[in-house]
Amino acid sequence: MIRFAGIEEESTVDGEGIRFVLFCQGCPHHCKGCHNPSTWSYDKGDFISPEEILYKMKQNELLDGITLSGGEPFEQVDELLPLLKLITPKYNVWSYSGYIYEDLIRDTNKKKLLQYIDYLIDGPYIEDLRDLTLQFRGSSNQRIINVQESLKQNKVILK
């Protein structure tokens, strides 16, 4: 079961296209100025199964994919893997993370999730670098990474 803080069934601001957004519960980063500090606690939120999420996604034929947001999705690798295995390749996957890509690929457990993610917005939100002109990001240190190309080429490939 996935511990989650909320669901947005149709979003156009959390990745390209029309997206189903799963806000994961629990985050170790505690970024100053975070827009979602209610997701920090590991003891709050509700639980949902991968099958329930897939069912909800199938109700909307216009969906392009799912976005994993937070909290921190990479804190729930074992819980999210069954979901990503169910929905790919039909849906594309975007994910936000306060971790940077280079740290994620060095962590053998967290790297498992990268195998199913198409695009990653990495890095913590840094309030002093806030930039409202950036698409899909809150601060200028964050990157949009083409994960599958990055894994193939063994270097960061930006979108």
| Model pLDDT for residues 12-54, shown as the tens digit of each residue | 999 999 999 999 999 999 999 998 999 999 999 999 999 999 9
Are 102 and 151 spatial neighbours (Cβ–Cβ below 8 Å)? no
| Model pLDDT for residues 108-148, shown as the tens digit of each residue | 999 999 999 999 999 999 999 999 999 999 999 999 999 99
- Assess if residue 33 is contained within a domain: yes
- Assess if residue 159 is contained within a domain: no
- Assess if residue 100 is contained within a domain: yes
- Assess if residue 158 is contained within a domain: no
Q: How many domains does the chain have?
A: 1
Count of positions (residues) in the chain = 159
- Assess if residue 126 is contained within a domain: yes
- Assess if residue 147 is contained within a domain: yes
pLDDT for the residue numbered 35: 86
State pTM to two decimals: 0.96
pLDDT for the residue numbered 112: 97
Rg (CA), the chain: 15
- Assess if residue 82 is contained within a domain: yes
Burial 33-65 (b: 16+ CB within 10 A, else e): ebeeeebbeeeebeebebeebbeebeeeeebeb
Domain ranges, residue 57 = 2-153
- Assess if residue 120 is contained within a domain: yes
> What CATH number should be reported for the domain holding residue 45?
3.20.20.70
